[in-house]
Structure 1
């Protein structure tokens, strides 16, 4: 097993080296040739075991693209990469070197882990002192600008902001968006992946409508409920990750000698957990669902985003959520890793983008949640699943949780990085 693990670690390290641009890491040289926000956080988690200095640089580079209002844009474009290699590129967004949307706020957790991997190097570079105010600004932006429901939860304004772009959780709110006309753009993703595995053209045209509308409003976070071409959804996954990030920020504040600030971050996390449980939890279903702020209706799709509140250690409903996770809809521990969608649903597709396949980052997050709730046996099995999928698929972007067939890009950044992290993590033996 040691030889196998050593070879797997070396192969993952080669992927990260090949995807390194000099100051950041691309998810994939072909499909995603720039720096992505939450990808970089997961990539830093692996890099900390290979080169803590490079892991710190990854995150500092990302936050160099932070906007004045505090948002961390979901893409930081590489100026040396041809503009036509990715759509929508910088010309579409008209925001300089970045996009205008965001992605889930996993960065504080990554910053804290990277610091812990090399405290001396981190201190020498003033890593925590540099990034803490930037993380504070990021966390302030979200509730200040995105609490459209008025209940203390953050709304996403585009499916891309969830990080789970094509999830069935977005189908109903997205159906009200008028697609842009055909032929107005060229999809670059289809040059690097099978069309059957990717969003449909009509879905993509709705994505473009939403993104262009937000851009044309100057990226102003204004909620117009009656606007047809709008999307305002409280995502349980996004909000759970923000609550967890507040807990990580508390650890960072303590390390910087700021106990009052740490207490404030913990209180913020507790408020979010309470709001999520009151607003997004369905006790009869034993699940967290997305909430459509525009219609005032809770969604009914069981997607992996609804499992991410397991990250929260003080989650009172964790036993019921674990029951759903191990039940027929996700069969945690009995299929490979974590399906991204309900295995019993008519629309489950083990190969289609966020409509069934297992993803390394979701598996890593759910495993963290299992460990926080004492589910060591399940966490041990999930770790083994994730390592095997990485080994068998060449670090695929996502994989069939039933057959282990890889899909999407190969040599994918966060799959390789989280493989390195899992190999280094012996918490379950």
Structure 2
């Protein structure tokens, strides 16, 4: 375990840029939103101050409307090193930071609270919570006020990348409505660093580009953009609930009233029940107003929501044939019995370390200690065996995607230190 700890620390130190941590120098050479939150959760064990700086750096790219963009571009990286890069997004904050225009799941308040707890004295000395609390409030307000596109109290995503689970089968049907951008109109960079078999297809990528360009061309205005893709995602909303609970803790720590955050969490938890069917939470397509049939790991993430009425049924689904939790490696990203299951391709079957960490947190909350210990053991063993791979084959545990991946190292370090 000491060797694993040192190896994880080497990855995080190696990917540190001076103010933030890149997910991977090759595949993802900038700062990513939910990556930084997960990274901070691990960094707090290595350097609480560095974890604070990680999150402060991310919120330094926050827009005036409150949104936290999914990429904050580094001016020190060649502009064409990643696509879509800053020239595509054409988004610059008032502080001169070039960013993307879409968002990612709001796990940030949870990360801020855990980082504060790691070293309360240093947090107070640096004014960490007073600095980030109003930014987190603005971030959540943007989501709840601008992104309740269905009018039923849940936040909608408007691009598959906003889910963090880019090519999930849950998005397949909705994406058929999108005319892909011509392949000769852009140059992918991700396949320069990872196998084509592991990454989204060119057809999917063309659709991602089209959706992003349409949003960009409408000034990233949630009221004016004619969204062809708008879905209520269970993982996104579950993480907003967890972060509202964390905001309540932060407010109380600052001698402020936590009630608005706890009320928001309760309202979101009740609304989340609209997405539950057949033992799992499913995304809802706002175009068809129907739940998506696909069973994905996104539907299991609500296990971490306090006082979730559906927890027992959801746990049964996790342990059943679709996910075989405790039998296969980590938590598969998609139904093992599903018609388009692919054990190698990105979010269409492989197991990811960040979603395993979230499910582990839910298992601990539900006092499923034996199952939680199995998931924790998988994270630690596979992180070491795969040189901190981005994700793994759920059956063989073989490494997929990038290596020396920051959130894999960070979350392994967290589980190693938090047992």
State the TM-score bracket (shorter-chain normalisation): over 0.9
- What CA distance in whole angstroms lies between the structure 2 residues aligned with 1:233 and 1:73? 18
Specify which of 287, 293, 311 is matched with residue 294 of structure 1. Answer: 287
**Is there any run of 5+ residues in structure 1 with no aligned partner, and where?**
none
> Map of 1:222-371 to 2, 5 A cutoff?
222=223, 230-258=228-256, 260=257, 262-277=258-273, 279-282=274-277, 285-371=278-364
- What CA distance in whole angstroms lies between the structure 1 residues aligned with 2:285 and 2:394? 29
> Map of 1:27-426 to 2, 5 A cutoff?
27-96=23-92, 97-222=98-223, 230-258=228-256, 260=257, 262-277=258-273, 279-282=274-277, 285-426=278-419
Distance 1:175 1:223, change over 3 A: farther
- What CA distance in whole angstroms lies between the structure 1 residues aligned with 2:231 and 2:288? 10
- What CA distance in whole angstroms lies between the structure 1 residues aligned with 2:196 and 2:237? 31
**Is there any run of 5+ residues in structure 2 with no aligned partner, and where?**
93-97
- What CA distance in whole angstroms lies between the structure 2 residues aligned with 1:81 and 1:156? 28
1:346: how far off? 2.1
- What CA distance in whole angstroms lies between the structure 1 residues aligned with 2:290 and 2:309? 24
- What CA distance in whole angstroms lies between the structure 2 residues aligned with 1:298 and 1:124? 47
SS of corresponding position for 1:183: helix
Deviations 1:149-189 (A, max 9, x none): 10000000000000000100000111100001121110000
Contact 1:280 1:291 in 2 (8 A): yes
Normalised by the length of structure 1, the TM-score is 0.96
Contact 1:148 1:223 in 2 (8 A): no
Normalised by the length of structure 2, the TM-score is 0.98
1:223: how far off? 6.8
- What CA distance in whole angstroms lies between the structure 1 residues aligned with 2:215 and 2:165? 19
- What CA distance in whole angstroms lies between the structure 2 residues aligned with 1:166 and 1:182? 18
Give the RMSD, CA atoms, in angstroms: 0.8
- What CA distance in whole angstroms lies between the structure 2 residues aligned with 1:321 and 1:393? 30
Equivalent pairs, count? 414
1:294: how far off? 1.1
